[in-house]
Amino acid sequence: MTNLSRKFEQIVNRTLTNVILPVKTAEGILVGDVLITSQGSAKNIVKSGEIKYQEVYLNSVAIKIAELLIGKNHSQQADTLYRLDQEYGKWLNESQLLRSQYEKATANTQHDRADVLWAKYQQSRDRTVSAKSQLDALAH
């Protein structure tokens, strides 16, 4: 074995020891000793049989929080991700509600109301997209 191949093997082994791959189980997704369970579109994060975070909306955020819970002293970063995910969920739900109200107003030929609802929907949608892009940047 050459010196170069030994160095390459050491780098690969060091890298692989720091990576914990998610594993799909019957209960949910297991990341180390943290379980991610699904309730519809929301996910719960469970560690040691105790729910640590409820109703996480984005899969990437749930996996990142689980990875942070495996490590030590990362609870502040996990809390920040969770708070931002909850904000994303709030804007997502609001934009969906406004969109359905807009469609009802349009169907009932309430054009003035529909115009106001469409403007509110666009603002909410923009906030949703902004929150999601911010979360994606933090989760990776």
User: Quick one: pLDDT at residue 9?
Assistant: 72
User: Quick one: pLDDT at residue 21?
Assistant: 77
Task: Report the 10 Å Cβ neighbour count for 59.
Answer: 15
> What 3 state SS string does 24-91 have?
ECCCCEEECCEEEEEECCEEEEEECCEEEEEEECCHHHHHHHHHHHHCCCCHHHHHHHHHHHHHHHHH
What is the model's pTM?
Answer: 0.77
What are the 10-residue block averages of pLDDT along the chain, 140 residues in total?
Answer: 70 60 86 88 90 92 88 80 94 96 95 95 95 88
With 0-12 / 13-18 / 19 or more C-beta atoms within 10 angstroms meaning exposed / middle / buried, residue 98 is buried
User: Quick one: pLDDT at residue 31?
Assistant: 86
